[in-house]
Structure 1
Amino acid sequence: MDKVPDSAPAPGSTSDRVLDGLARLCLIVAGILLVFLIFSFGWLVFGRYVLNDTPTWIEQSSLLIVVYITCLGAAAGVRFNSHLSIDFLREGAPRVPRAIMHAIADGFVILFGAFMAWQGGLMVLSNAGRPIPMIGLSESWRAAPLVVCGVLLVIFTGANLIKRWFSNPRAGS
């Protein structure tokens, strides 16, 4: 379970331990939310078919929880290089083109994360006064994971990029 893929930064430095701990915290929170999601759907089924009284808050809360699970899991996947990727072309390329492709991919992820955080922040601010139906929380809670995930994508990808380039500057990968 603690096996980190070979392409992930080797643990050792304080920053690596902190970032790995942050990524693991993301996975723990996502796991706890997944367990809550499963229990809430169990309550939904029990309420609907046994009590004949459907709990209305479960639909909206589960939509909110799925966004948090997805964003936290995506950020951790970037840190541990366990996200879905098709890299047979890159890994089969010679050293220099492989390093360039890594840098381009990392650049796109950093740009995407920054854009996600920025736009998510705008959504948080613009939806602060609107409540989510059935649960009463602000709509900003739906956009908050975008900000968190975007910032984590930038941090994790930047750290992976720096680690890759400085751990073996001649190879770049």
Structure 2
Amino acid sequence: MPHPPAYVRSIERALDLLQLLCLVLASAALAVLIASFGWLVFGRYVLNATPTWVEQLALLLICYIAFLGAAAGVRDDSHIGVTLFRDLLPARAQKLVIIAVDLALAGFGIAMLAAGASLMAFGWDTLLPMLNLPESVRTGAITSLGALMAVFAGTRALLRIVHFRNWAPRAPEDI
């Protein structure tokens, strides 16, 4: 298989950096989550003063950890999927199914982006209990996942369409 053109390599590098950013942010959120629960245990059992904000912060962080991780999975093309029937098809039909799945993921991402933006606008005046942050901060996780899904899956679909002849579906043993 020939090497991809320079513009494809540039796009792939940019998307790899965006995926790395997702993973770094999710990892940082996980570290903050662990530290906050350490503070919760220390406050409850040593200081005898339970920090009540930890639960709300944990709920917020879990949203970002899960959604940023899911976006990285879409970029890796490791999202959940049943490929039994696709793998039974000839290579050309497999390519069409893979592109259709990428386009469906991108469409779902656009729908999540639109719905998330609507939720963010709706919840801007409502504060998260004990954190005094707008509810929109929590729904920002949904919105960001939608945007990232649309970018990752949509770009992959477009590149596969443009280079239809020059790529092959992964064999089941490669997955």
TM range, smaller chain: 0.7 to 0.9
Q: Does 1:26 align with 2:35?
A: no
- The one-letter amino acid paired with 2:98 is H
1:56-93 per-residue CA deviation (whole Å, 9 max, x = no partner) reads 11000110011111111111111111223332332232
Pairing partner for 1:53 from 46, 49, 52: 49
Offset, 1:134: 0.5
SS at match of 1:70: helix
SS at match of 1:44: helix
Offset, 1:27: 0.3
Unaligned runs of 5+ in 1: 1-8
Q: Which segment drifts farther, 117-126 or 9-18?
A: 9-18
2:173 paired residue number: none
Asked if structure 2 preserves the Cα contact closer than 8 Å seen for 1:96 and 1:171, the reply is no
Offset, 1:53: 1.0
What TM-score do you get using the length of structure 2 for normalisation? 0.86
1:71 paired residue number: 67
Inter-partner Cα distance in structure 2 for 1:140 and 1:168: 40
Asked if structure 2 preserves the Cα contact closer than 8 Å seen for 1:95 and 1:171, the reply is no
Q: Does 1:162 align with 2:158?
A: yes
- After superposition, the Cα gap between the structure-2 partners of 1:72 and 1:10, relative to the gap in structure 1 and judged at 3 Å, is farther
- The one-letter amino acid paired with 1:94 is P
Q: Percent of aligned pairs with the same residue?
A: 38
Asked if structure 2 preserves the Cα contact closer than 8 Å seen for 1:44 and 1:58, the reply is yes
Q: Which segment drifts farther, 9-18 or 89-98?
A: 9-18
